[in-house]
Amino acid sequence: MRTIILFICGFLLLPGISMAATTHKTTVTKVYNETFNPRQKEYPNHVGFNDLHIQAIRHLKPDTDDVNDPKLQTIVHHHCKAYDDGTLICMMFHSGMKDQDKPIGFEYIITGEQYASLDKAEQRYWHYHKTEIPRAHATLPDLTAEEAGPLLGPIGSTYGKVIYFQKPGDKLPLGEPYILVVQDLPEQD
């Protein structure tokens, strides 16, 4: 009985769902950013990481120094959550976003002002999106060109830091997490 009560209490606290105690009606609150995700497309099991979907190459560590290394051409899906302080955190998937796909890392995105507050040693780990968006052939696949257009300027003025906790071919996160310094990767056509 105690387990059932705890389960019900846990359900009542789920983000985006509130239960009115007096009326027993379920009220669903929007959990999406209407600018980044106007059609409210929801991806499974990623609590709140539905605000913005970005696809980009040049986001995996290559196995070789060869500019033609296939990992440099692999599309990495970023499923992002926007926060009130101007930051975004993007869960990164190398295989898409089906129900059983697991994230292999994340990109932390900050504003130019936040970047300027970092010391020079830390700034080295961050890439500037104004130069990286075209280099990574980044797209916003869930948005039309008209919807994406106004976002590209503000997104371009941000900085990102890519942190991996799992290599794409591994079934489990093995070894130490690592920071991928994106601006040090070979150029792509």
Residues 6 or more apart whose Cβ sits within 8 Å of residue 32: 40, 42, 50, 51
pTM for this prediction: 0.74
Q: Flag the least confident range among 43-52, 93-102, 175-184.
A: 43-52
pLDDT at 28: 56
DSSP structure string for 109-169: EE-HHHHHTS-HHHHTT-EEHHHHHHHTT-B-TTS-HHHHHHHHHHHHT-EEEEEESS-TT
State the Cα–Cα distance between residues 151 and 135, nearest whole angstrom.
18
pLDDT at 90 over 90: yes
Amino acid identity of 2?
A: R
Please, what sign has the CA dihedral across residues 114, 33, 142, 100?
A: positive
CA-to-CA distance for 97 and 78, rounded, in angstroms?
Answer: 9
Going by pLDDT thresholds of 50, 70 and 90, the confidence category of residue 101 is confident
Query: What's the pLDDT tens digit per position in 25-83?
Result: 555 555 566 777 676 666 554 456 778 899 999 999 998 888 889 999 999 999 998 88
Q: Which pLDDT band, with edges at 50, 70 and 90, does 102 fall under?
A: confident
Question: Which sequence spans correspond to the domains of the chain?
Answer: 36-184
Cα-based distances in Å from 30 to 17, 22, 61, 86, 153: 9, 22, 36, 19, 26
At residue 186, the pLDDT reads 85
State pLDDT tens for residues 104-159.
999 999 999 999 999 999 999 999 999 999 999 999 998 999 999 999 999 999 99
| CA 64/CA 73 separation, integer angstroms | 13
Count Cβ atoms below 10 Å from residue 178 Cβ, excluding itself.
13
Higher pLDDT, 36 or 170: 170
Average pLDDT over residues 86-103: 86
pLDDT at 36: 72
Looking at residue 57, the DSSP 8-state letter turns out to be: S
Which pLDDT does position 144 carry in this prediction? 93
Question: Is 51:37 a contact under the CB 8 Å cutoff?
Answer: yes
Q: For 20, phi and psi rounded to 5 degrees?
A: -80, 120
- Distance in angstroms (rounded) separating the CA atoms of residues 29 and 84: 17
Using a 10 angstrom Cβ sphere, with 0-12 exposed, 13-18 middle and 19 or more buried, the burial of residue 122 is exposed
Q: State residue 2's pLDDT score.
A: 37
3-state SS, residue 7: helix
In this structure, what token pair is assigned to residue 175?
A: 């070894």
